[in-house]
Structure 1
Amino acid sequence: MLTVLANGATYRVLYVEDDPQMATDFNQAFGETASITTVNSIKEALFCLEADPDIDLVVFNDRLNAKKFLNAIQSIPTSGKLSTILLTAEASIDLSVEPFRGRVIDVFHYGYSEAAFQTRLSYLILKKQYAESGNQTPKAPSVRMPIGKRLFDIVFSFLLLLLISPLLLIVAILVKLDSKGPIFYGSKRVGMGYRVFNMYKFRTMRTDADKMLASMASRNMYNIKKLEEPADQLCEACRLAGTECQKPLFLDDKQVCEDIHFRNEKAKAMFSKFKEDPRVTRLGKFLRNTSIDELPQFYNILRGDMSFVGNRPLPPYEAEKLTAAGYARRFAAPAGLTGLWQVTKRGGAVVSDQERIQLDVLYAKKFSFKTDLMIVIRTLKAIWQKENV
């Protein structure tokens, strides 16, 4: 039975797919959840979007050239409110670069779990239902910064900005002389309660850093070493039973085991961080090793975007991956200049993205004045520690 929204309408999905069997399977799987219109080309998709401004979501098969489609829809007046989910065979797609930035909200690989896609689709429907009901998300006490913590942040961030103002001026001049580009780098970050704000640092990277990111995926410190795939493409259970693959998937006309495929999918990193990052400038390495590049964030603390201690605010494309209940708890804590993860794993220690999330969630559950004081003391001890990341 289709989900009916507050205005009596249904959630509208445009599915762009040229494979009749995949189109049929998609409609059978999700046709009872949303109203699905299927087209088989970019031309037909653009016609539908221009004719029907009420389409909520586009599900696009990357095989049909997603970049061309995303560039083309920018000329449609209503495309600003349109979300896109990509179906792809690509190992990884950087959603922080154009034309994906701000338009593609999720990526599902061929052979994806229908249950996982159903969960994502249901979330989007509920999100629209709530928005159309005229309600606003209440500010729950669990995601409100304690008054004492906020007063501490205001007083000390103001005093520190006054004390270090000569240093800030000197660093600003050096950044300008060291390389072309702006003095400060401001980027969107997601903090407490999924609030989005501009976080400021001294610029430590080249101006073309974002363009270089896509080619550096293999150097990500959060990558989990990919397990070697068996030549016979059989999982351990099938091999021990002496049978053929009991869970076959077909990706690009090649049969793979579902268990092996999803094991590799889980190995993909949620965060990005690089050792000996080639995008960092000469001065930028020094500023990062001494944490001087973080000093402009005292302004973010004074504004209330962040606190001295908390969970590091994430770029939107990383935060969007952490919407499951077990992960989202990290956003119940204030965004911080330093935090439990930094003082626990700083200095080149091996850390997985799951360990980082667990530390963030732990802080969200346990943070207090005593915890914050301990983290500040450990941060001061570690602040001069060298790490080229």
Structure 2
Amino acid sequence: MKHPIIYIQAGAGSRTHAAHFVQLAGGHLRVVPNMPSAIRTLDASGDPRPIILFERRTRKIDLQNIRLLRSQYPQSAIILLTGTLDATERKAYLEAGTNSALRPDTDAATFDRTIRFITEYAFRYKPVHTAQPRLTGFRMPLWKRSFDVLASAGAIVLLSPVLLATAVAVRLDSPGPVIYRSKRVGSNYRVFDFLKFRSMRTDADSRLREMEELNQYAGQQPQPKAARIALDPAEVERLIPAIDGQGLLVSDDFVIPEQEHLQQVETEQRNAFVKFENDPRITRTGRFIRKYSIDELPQLFNILRGDMSVVGNRPLPLYEAEHLTSDEYIDRFMCPSGLTGLWQVEKRGGAGKLSPEERKRLDIYYARHLSPLLDLKIILKTFTAFIQKENV
């Protein structure tokens, strides 16, 4: 295949036909479970003209995701995998940016003909449909971006002595880089380097095993990945009738029943969430800058370069974002990531600890009600409640 082919599944719980299309593509197809994984894979490929097989789920979520794909990868070919569409649905999917459609059980001849048409005609001779601006994903309002640039630039200048002093203190307290970088998912599922002053020792991760007895959330050990089966056409064909509607997740070199995979991921993530009282991995300087949120100040540079906004939803680690791709949660990514946000001020303002579900609902509320007045209220609350009282 001259262009990468990406298969985006409809999400957990849906019956997938990914294994069928892997066989049709002769193995030259990458299956991903959700939009964040798709965007990372498409960005990593570096090909401006990928072929995207998009498995239909529900109209609302599909149109939103297709518009996002079209805005981020305007030269891509998006093929909807679906059964029958009525005239209204067909028009909506085409306007969102879909190029063609295939049945989930399509035969090899039809698949080859469609791919050949895309590569030999649509890409080469005919400009791929470009969605109108109104169909793109989230776009930063001018008022918000203007405030972000002025506020972040001004804060960097005013706080430059604090930034410099903190950098020196971090470097003198323990060996290692001054800035800690981690990959986070922001608006439109875009991944960027999230900046903080380093507050832990550089060997923090390697010391986790030595401190398991301190872990408040120690869980069961993940089971060996025995459910993985080598990606062999005969094995895939044999497994399909036996999975009883669970669906298959297909990677580059193995397949696994979807339910088995979800159970493994849940166990691994539960064990990966480590929280310590008086965590000994935190340096003396780190404990101080965490208490007063000074470790967050490098995110002013994230704001200045457009990765984040002053106010928004906190950018999520990759593993968390991959679990929030259903209809009810996608709205939280349709607004900017922020240095502060609605659930942060609710928590710090005296509402106590919020459950993960409460945080998600507040994120969704902010995304749907974004306005200058709401941003102003959050900023004022942040100034009056910036000291964290948790010694964690």
TM class, shorter-length: 0.5 to 0.7
Q: What is the alpha-carbon distance in structure 2 between the residues aligned to residue 353 and residue 278 of structure 1?
A: 26
Q: What is the alpha-carbon distance in structure 2 between the residues aligned to residue 331 and residue 10 of structure 1?
A: 22
8 A Cα contact 1:11 1:34, kept in partner: no
What is aligned with 1:339? 341
- Counting only pairs closer than 5 Å after superposition, residues 79-90 of structure 1 correspond to structure 2 as none
Deviations 1:287-308 (A, max 9, x none): 0110001111111111111111
Which one-letter code corresponds to 1:34 in the other structure? H
Deviations 1:218-251 (A, max 9, x none): 6359x9xxxxxxxxxxxxxxxxxxxxxxxxx9xx
What is aligned with 2:291? 289
What is aligned with 1:104? none
8 A Cα contact 1:271 1:353, kept in partner: no
What is aligned with 1:179? 174
- Counting only pairs closer than 5 Å after superposition, residues 38-77 of structure 1 correspond to structure 2 as 54-57=28-31
Deviations 1:105-157 (A, max 9, x none): xxxxxxxxxxxx997xxx9xx98962878667876466111101111111111
Q: What is the alpha-carbon distance in structure 2 between the residues aligned to residue 371 and residue 282 of structure 1?
A: 36
Query: What SS is found at the alignment partner of 2:140?
Result: coil
What is aligned with 1:274? 275
User: What is the aligned counterpart of 2:321 among 307, 319, 322?
Assistant: 319
Which one-letter code corresponds to 2:165 in the other structure? I
- Compute the displacement of 1:360 (Å): 0.4
User: What is the aligned counterpart of 1:209 among 200, 204, 217?
Assistant: 204
Q: What is the alpha-carbon distance in structure 1 between the residues aligned to residue 21 and residue 312 of structure 2?
A: 42
What is aligned with 1:232? none
Measured at CA, do residues 129 and 371 of structure 1 come closer, stay the same or move farther in structure 2, by a change above 3 Å? same
User: What is the aligned counterpart of 1:368 among 343, 357, 371?
Assistant: 371
Measured at CA, do residues 174 and 383 of structure 1 come closer, stay the same or move farther in structure 2, by a change above 3 Å? same
What is aligned with 1:381? 384
Q: What is the alpha-carbon distance in structure 1 between the residues aligned to residue 294 and residue 314 of structure 2?
A: 16
Q: What is the alpha-carbon distance in structure 1 between the residues aligned to residue 271 and residue 371 of structure 2?
A: 28
8 A Cα contact 2:7 2:18, kept in partner: no
8 A Cα contact 1:30 1:118, kept in partner: no
Measured at CA, do residues 163 and 273 of structure 1 come closer, stay the same or move farther in structure 2, by a change above 3 Å? farther
Measured at CA, do residues 333 and 162 of structure 1 come closer, stay the same or move farther in structure 2, by a change above 3 Å? same
8 A Cα contact 1:220 1:273, kept in partner: yes
What is aligned with 2:152? 157
Measured at CA, do residues 294 and 363 of structure 1 come closer, stay the same or move farther in structure 2, by a change above 3 Å? same
- State TM-score, norm by structure 1: 0.55
Q: What is the alpha-carbon distance in structure 2 between the residues aligned to residue 357 and residue 305 of structure 1?
A: 20
Query: What SS is found at the alignment partner of 1:311?
Result: coil
- Counting only pairs closer than 5 Å after superposition, residues 61-140 of structure 1 correspond to structure 2 as 130=78, 140=135
Measured at CA, do residues 182 and 136 of structure 1 come closer, stay the same or move farther in structure 2, by a change above 3 Å? farther
Measured at CA, do residues 322 and 138 of structure 1 come closer, stay the same or move farther in structure 2, by a change above 3 Å? farther
8 A Cα contact 2:171 2:178, kept in partner: yes
Which one-letter code corresponds to 2:158 in the other structure? L
Deviations 1:62-85 (A, max 9, x none): xxxxxxxxxxxxxxxxxx86xxxx
Identity of aligned residues (%): 44
- Compute the displacement of 1:31 (Å): 5.6
What is aligned with 2:330? 328
User: What is the aligned counterpart of 1:352 among 352, 355, 366?
Assistant: 355
Query: What SS is found at the alignment partner of 1:321?
Result: coil
Q: What is the alpha-carbon distance in structure 2 between the residues aligned to residue 135 and residue 210 of structure 1?
A: 47
What RMSD in Å do the two structures reach over aligned CA positions?
4.7
Measured at CA, do residues 152 and 33 of structure 1 come closer, stay the same or move farther in structure 2, by a change above 3 Å? same
Deviations 1:336-365 (A, max 9, x none): 000001011237933222111111001101
Deviations 1:237-272 (A, max 9, x none): xxxxxxxxxxxx9xxxxxxxx9xx99xx79x86995
Larger RCO, structures 1/2 (Cα 8 Å, 6+ apart): 2
Q: What is the alpha-carbon distance in structure 2 between the residues aligned to residue 153 and residue 322 of structure 1?
A: 27
- State TM-score, norm by structure 2: 0.55
Which one-letter code corresponds to 2:289 in the other structure? L
Measured at CA, do residues 362 and 272 of structure 1 come closer, stay the same or move farther in structure 2, by a change above 3 Å? farther
Q: What is the alpha-carbon distance in structure 2 between the residues aligned to residue 177 and residue 306 of structure 1?
A: 29
Which one-letter code corresponds to 2:185 in the other structure? V
Q: Structure 2: which 5+ residue stretches go unaligned?
A: 10-14, 34-43, 46-54, 70-75, 80-117, 123-127, 220-245, 247-258
Residue 219 (structure 1) aligned with residue 216 (structure 2): yes
Measured at CA, do residues 381 and 279 of structure 1 come closer, stay the same or move farther in structure 2, by a change above 3 Å? same
Query: How many residues are aligned here?
Result: 263
Query: What SS is found at the alignment partner of 1:326?
Result: coil
Deviations 1:310-334 (A, max 9, x none): 0001122211111112111101111
8 A Cα contact 1:188 1:315, kept in partner: yes
Which one-letter code corresponds to 1:54 in the other structure? H
Query: What SS is found at the alignment partner of 2:183?
Result: strand
Query: What SS is found at the alignment partner of 1:337?
Result: strand
What is aligned with 1:198? 193
Deviations 1:87-107 (A, max 9, x none): xxxxxxxxxxxxxxxxxxxxx
Which one-letter code corresponds to 1:187 in the other structure? S
User: What is the aligned counterpart of 1:308 among 300, 307, 310?
Assistant: 310
Query: What SS is found at the alignment partner of 2:154?
Result: helix
